[in-house]
Chain A
Amino acid sequence: MKRTLFNLFALLIVLSLALTACGGNATPAPTEAPVVDAPAATDAPAATEAPAAAAEEVTVTIGFTASQTGAQEVSSKRQVNGFNLWMNQVNEAGGLTLSDGTVVKFAAQSYDDESTKERVQELYTRLITEDNADFLISPYSSGLTAAAAVIAEQNGKLMITTGAADDDTYKQGYTGVFQLYTPGSLYLTSTVDMLKTLDPAAKIAIVNESDKFSTAVVGGLKPYAEAAGFEIVLEEAYASDTADFGPIINKIVDSGATVVLGGGHYPDGSTFARQLYERKVGIQFIGILVAPPDSKFSELGDAALGVTGPSQWEGKATHTEEEANGLGIEWFGPSGADFSAAFEAAYGDKPTYHAAGGYTAGLLLEKAIRDADSIDSEAVKAALDATNIFTFYGGIKFDTSAEAHGLQIGHSMVVIQWQKNEAGELVREVVWPADVATKAPIFPIVVP
């Protein structure tokens, strides 16, 4: 009886795990036409309708969920801190003034999504229907953003996504979702460009987490690397909670690979890097997603040395107005140094790319409202479609085709590598593109 009960419970646990996994990988159903009876103009709360009198002050509500608990907590908090910094700066400066004298100020409405898609969908519905949010910012992570984007699109709300690099969300026929991050399919292409200058004959093992984002990255990486003339000697995906990479590393050795590209998120990426180091298998170059740009990566000690990773933004190689002028693109917003200083003053911590993304999401909305000279969502949407700007975070421009509306096409990644400074401390250096690099890349990695 006891064993039967235990078995039944264990079975229940496993089935619920399996269902969760299935739900987690499900591609959001393509949204058909936005709800007909909810056009943006009539849907907008009274405060956000076109102002009638000069010098009227309106407060625009920006809704989003934050992962205050669960797996995305750390990155999400950084993203929200960045967004809040932008909002506070704008409000403290007196808000935005439109040409008719209307002063626009911003208020945030946010809930804890517990890092789960179910909560995200429930809360974004609430933000739209009960809190009357005028514009939406995405949660952190591709999976949560995909869940939120469905709700935003169904309700005809504009959403700026940040912390979400997966390409698929923007290929569902949506028209009101705009991506700030470089798409996943382009995440490792700059790493391949760099590798071509280091070792054109490298043999690449692609080892990635089998989640939505990492699969999208690999989907772009493989054809790009092959087109660059590299031989892909191993393709291997692993489950998100993989902790033991021993069998995978044995496969890498067996394949004769000299380079490992892939990874997924911080936990698996840092574990993978550590085990590659511990087993001393002679890999000459390691490029993995998400984990290396995190300052905690240095906790790996010598296992971090030489590991590279793509980053959306680095304070050391922040984009500048001169760069924008050189490209003939309009510059908007503060300099990277000003942003970093303000962030450090506000939170006592150096900004990561998550924080820069959160700040720039607000900055982008500000720019679109200024260009539209209105807070009407249709006008703001048209302004976003026409956006082609440069900020400290880099270029921002959206695909406006029906196939991939809202996909980011103006932003490029930098590649960072952990190196040792003169004092022997691990530091994160930008090693690609060459024109913004702070150090030359270490190649091959030397394992003692």
Chain B
Amino acid sequence: MQQISLLLASLPDGILLGFVYGVAAMGLTLIWGVMNVINLSHGPIISLGMFGTYMIFIKLGINPYLGLFIVAPIGLLLGILIYTVAVHRVINAPHLSSLLATFSVNMIIIGLGTAAFTTSPFNVDFNMGSVNLGSTTLLGTRLIAALAAIIVTGGLYLFLYQTRPGKNIRAVANNRAAAELMGIPSSRILALSFGLGTMLAAVSGALIATFFPFSILSGGAYELKSFVIGVLGGLGNPIGALVGGLALGILEAIIPAFLETSWVPVIEFGLFILVLLVRPNGLFGAKQ
């Protein structure tokens, strides 16, 4: 009974966090889904999004949620820049080349970030109050972040399915050669896709910064979660990534109700391996 009450108290938090995990994972899976590139700079870009919120709120005094409108385009442009400089030339090379290219970008961002911000944690002292619901307290920052995550997911879905550039992205993801034969400029579309993936990573980082302290190394943990969500959800499918994120968030809320919290990563990654073994296409059955 005690476990059930703990579960009920923790579940809403897990769900809210899950939405944000989903946005972070969307960036990774979008890039992989479109161009078969495993973006190892995903984590540091999430960290840059966190620092974006920090600079915008602490240094410029702008509301962090308004700051998303600054972080998002910068993330998009940064992604296009990374694609152009580091990824484009190796896009058709074996996977190891693009892996090493994005790993190099990862090291560069961490190196520059360490020089600029050190590895010391930063904190955005921003409070949106809280709502008491029986035995649980919902923090305003998490509620708004979840709402923002849902809006971002919906926006991305509409972009991919209702706009010409979005349809071009899906066409390139399905068959790049055929898309090129139809006159779609695949290089530009790939750059746009990488930019969108980076933008999503930066936005998720910006949202996370409103409720967790962070350092330039913090993005690594969310990159790992994104890999797990990528397996649970769908590649290139924003809804699948959101559902995968929710599943992970709920898992993180459920486990501490029954076991010591240090078991969370053990069970989380144990289940991840189990899913790989029994349902290689993911729990939510992304289509091949």
Q: Which residues of A contact B (CB under 8 A)?
A: 2-7, 9-11, 13-14, 17-18, 21, 69-74, 115, 210, 236-239, 241-244, 246-248, 250-251, 253-254, 266-267, 270-271, 274, 278-281, 296, 299-301, 303
Contact = CB atoms under 8 A, between A and B. Distances in A.
A251 B125 contact: no
Interface string B172-195: 000000000000000000000000
B224 A17 contact: yes
Given A69-B111, A73-B118, A74-B118, A243 B221 contact: yes
Given A74-B119, A237-B260, A250-B136, A267 B6 contact: no
Interface stretch (B155-163, B199-207, B268-276): B268-276
A340 B114 CA distance: 27
7 contacts: A6-B38, A244-B13, A247-B255, A248-B261, A251-B256, A270-B123, A300-B125
B97 interface: no
Contacts of A244: 13-14, 17, 212, 252
Nearest to B132: A280
Given A14-B228, A210-B262, A300-B125, A7 B119 contact: no
Contacts of A74: 118-120
A71 B213 contact: no
A2 B36 contact: yes
How large, as a class, is the contact surface on chain B? Answer: 35 or more
A247 B257 contact: yes
Q: Which 4 A-B residue pairs are closest in the complex by CB-CB distance?
A: A247-B256, A246-B13, A301-B125, A247-B10
Contact of A69 (B114, B255, B265): B114
B11 to A, nearest CB: 9
Contacts of B137: 279-281
A299 B125 contact: yes
A241 B215 CA distance: 12
B280 A3 contact: yes
Contact of B261 (A236, A267, A300): A236
A250 B254 CA distance: 12
Given A3-B235, A247-B256, A73 B114 contact: yes
Interface string B36-49: 10100000000000
Given A266-B120, A267-B121, A270-B121, A14 B224 contact: yes
B13 A13 contact: no
B10 A246 contact: yes
A103 B137 CA distance: 66
A13 B5 contact: no
B264 interface: yes
Contacts of A296: 120-121, 123
A74 B221 CA distance: 20
Interface string B264-288: 1100010011001000111000101
B37 to A, nearest CB: 11
A213 to B, nearest CB: 15
A69 B111 CA distance: 8
B10 A271 contact: no
Given A210-B262, A236-B260, A247-B6, A18 B269 contact: yes
A4 B33 CA distance: 12
Interface string B126-168: 0100100001110100000000000000000000000000000
Given A69-B111, A238-B262, 13 more contacts: A3-B281, A6-B231, A10-B276, A11-B276, A14-B269, A17-B224, A71-B215, A238-B264, A244-B13, A244-B252, A247-B13, A254-B6, A270-B121
A144 B120 CA distance: 18
A266 B89 CA distance: 41
Nearest to B129: A278
Contacts of B105: none
Contacts of A254: 2, 5-6, 9
A279 B127 CA distance: 11
B74 interface: no
Contacts of A281: 137
Nearest to B40: A13
B45 to A, nearest CB: 17
Contacts of B235: 2-3, 6
B79 interface: no
Contacts of A210: 262
Contact of A5 (B95, B114, B119): B95
B119 A242 contact: no
